[in-house]
Amino acid sequence: MKNHLGWILCAVYFVLMMVIASMPRPVYGHDIYHGWTAWDGGSCCSERKEVDGYVTGDCRPARAVQDMDGNWIAYSDGKEYRIPPQAVRPIQSPDGRSHICEMHGHIFCFVPGEVRS
């Protein structure tokens, strides 16, 4: 009987660990930008942090439109950004929104969102 109890506890423990391992993990703010690369092979994102009351970092959702010539213009943090064609990344937005990776006016990457009217 003792031998069977040990095997049962071992099996319960194994099943419990498998359930925990398969559970979704929390997604943090910059997880969606992980692995995004710029046209020059560098990383799009260096994370967005608050330092001395100022937000630094580069990737974030943005409102965006295309002009009559097909060029993208993004709006974020109260600023307008004209997106250089090489910054537009050929990937699908993970959440349907447009995203800009920019720091101090330099645009590393831009991923357009779903077109909305």
Residue 77's identity, in one-letter code, is: D
**H helix runs in the chain, sequence order:** 2-22
47: left (phi over 0), alpha (psi -120 to 50) or beta: left
- The full DSSP string for 44-61 is S----EEETTEEE-SEEE
For 62-92, what is each residue's pLDDT tens digit? 999 999 999 999 999 899 999 999 999 998 8
For 21-51, what is each residue's pLDDT tens digit? 444 443 344 567 878 888 888 888 876 555 5
Q: What are phi and psi for residue 7, nearest 5 degrees?
A: -65, -40
Is the pLDDT higher at 60 or at 7? 60
pTM above 0.75, yes or no: no
Work out the pLDDT band at 18, boundaries 50, 70, 90: low
